[in-house]
Amino acid sequence: MDLKDKTILVVGGAGLIGSHVVEQLLHEPIAEVLVYDNFSRGTRENLAEALRDPRCKIFPLGGDVCQTDILDQAVARADAVVHLAALWLLHCHEYPQSAFEVNIRGTFNVLEACRKHNIRRLVYSSSASVYGDAVEEPMTEDHPYNNWTFYGATKIAGEHMIRAYHKRYGLNAVGLRYMNVYGPRQDYRGAYIAVMMKILDCIDRGEQPVVYGDGSQAYDFIEVSDVARANVCALKSEQPFGFYNVGRGIKTSIKELAELLLELTGSDLGIRYEPAGQTFVTNRVGDPVAAKRDLGFEWTIDLREGMQRLVDWRDSHKAEVEERRQLANA
């Protein structure tokens, strides 16, 4: 899809990934980026830089995917839609009914509005949670659904609704299965990325960072700017339909992550190991080949550079980080 002079609606555009997608889109020759967000997790501070560009606007009537009449008005203004709005893993675990309303019914509402207004392109934020623990590595897009979480179930439902809408109505749609996304503006609510914020909190207090179990739990970490570029690549691609991994295809253990953060901060505190608690997934790494082949997406930021960016952002946004910490503990 040619983005020149197009209006792109970013549903959930004030969150960690969404705000970076908005910024990436402003590097394209678009006419307008319209942010649709209810600010339940995203923040206006996340959009501060983007809103300096007159092409970026927050939809003034609201931003809830469950409010179908307001959502309909926003979609009517768009040429293409990026749908990122969702309740996160732990929230879905604790409040499955709310997760159903937002992640499943909300996605259906987005699909209906896209169908009604003949949207030319939909990019859907899915998740590597659809895979669960790896049965084989690296996980290609044909990896079986080994998910046991309600969050993963909502993402599987979203994928299959999109599949049906593509088949019946010809909706051009691409779903992106994010691996473990981290970076500037992240909060403490991600089940797998909050660990790095908590490690840095410990280092700031002069305490040994805590790693649960033996630290062998391993994931595919990808920096949020790369994830944002993947969304733009998916918008610009001519691929009519499909679901793609967005990751680096490189597995890093929690122990290795903690050691890297200790090194980057110049700390010699070492690691304190404690018994493992609740863990949803312990082993996951995605195959990035299909996204490169069909969408033209390749990651560019390695883990060391990405973690340094996160450390630098925390150091320059201390008040904001403290506010996010308090919100997570409320």
Rg (CA), the chain: 19
Based on the residue annotation, tell me whether 151 is a catalytic residue of this protein.
yes
Residues with Cβ within 8 Å of 316's Cβ and at least 6 positions away in sequence, in order, are none
Reading the block at residue 252, the tokens are 């890093």
Reading the block at residue 292, the tokens are 């490169």
List the catalytic residue out of 36, 124, 131, 151.
151
User: Is there a contact between 248 and 179 (Cβ–Cβ < 8 Å)?
Assistant: yes
**d(Cα 218, Cα 248) in Å, to the nearest integer?**
13
What is the set of active-site residues? 151
